[in-house]
Amino acid sequence: MSTTDYPDGVTSYGVPIFGCTNGSVIAGNVFFVGKTASAKWIAGVDDPSYGTLQKPFATIDYAIGKCRASQGDVIYVLPGHTETIAAAGGITADVKGISIIGLGNGSLRPTISFSATASTFAISAADVLVKNILVTNTIDEVVTLFYVTGAGCTIDAVDFYPTTGQCRQFCLTTNAADQLTIKNCFHRQTAAAGAAQGWIVLVGTDHTRILNNTIWITAYASTSSICISGSTAVIECEITGNRISWLGGTITTVINLVTGSTGIISDNRIAGGAAVVLAAAITGDACMMFENYVTNTAAASGILGPAADTVT
């Protein structure tokens, strides 16, 4: 019997699992979500007798409700799946230790659309992974896509392309979202939102890692528009290997962590608008800086920012 024939998901101890952060094995149940029928599976239904590959659930939030905390349950979201978040917490990952993994490549990856300005994908439980999913908006001025309040969460290869209008913010945290990792994402928005933008806003988190993302944003013209912001001191963060084009008039700072912040900011490549002050484009208070390059001029190679240390 196929391991996907169990109506309550799959318990497959020792079976290799695709996409989890440690690349190890399934520890708990596996559920499948797929709204649209294919040659392999029928159209999803949110019913307890569904959840297998052949008979998937219809929505991610329903699948989350079938998971059990702290046992490593996995939700696979099938290629071509589409889902709309119409309210704050329209999808809420509130079960500890689950993985939500999109299947498929390129445009075949699952797509989550945000249809109201207050729509959010909330991650309130600890140790949640969201991976390989496309997100977009179908209404202008979506305020926040991901709202993270759980510790130990990872957002990996979650790409953003707007469909209609603009989004103001990709991720907002509370100070409970320690050990957050955002990595391998591609975000592109070429028209400014209608208000100041903080694309990733860390509110007093500890041990945050922002790694290897490409962010190509034309932001609202304001000194308050900051790509990666620590609005309350972040402790022992790592912001490394990001490529950021953060364009817009009057913007002066691209990465700005407030007084009291500590950690490492290294090997980032940053392009800003003409108003960006090269020496101040990256501000990290007590963070250590290594090999960050900044430019505010097209076709000009970046310079070290902040300026290089001197031998004393």
Q: Hey, where are the domains in the chain?
A: 78-304
CATH topology of domain 78-304: Pectate Lyase C-like (2.160.20)
Q: Given CA atoms 141, 145, 149, 154 in this order, what sign does their dihedral have?
A: negative
pLDDT digits (tens, 9 = 90+) for 29-44: 999 999 999 999 999 9
How many Cβ atoms are within 10 Å of 136's Cβ, its own excluded? 18
Write out the two tokens for 216. 């190509």
Question: pTM, whole model, 2 decimals?
Answer: 0.93
CA pair distance 312, 304, nearest whole angstrom: 19
Q: 137 - beta bridge partners?
A: 114
Which residues of the chain fall short of a pLDDT of 70?
1-25
User: What spatial distance separates the first Cα and last Cα of the chain, rounded to whole Å?
Assistant: 71
Q: What is the pLDDT of residue 11?
A: 42
CA pair distance 138, 115, nearest whole angstrom: 5
CA pair distance 134, 138, nearest whole angstrom: 13
Q: What is the pLDDT of residue 4?
A: 43
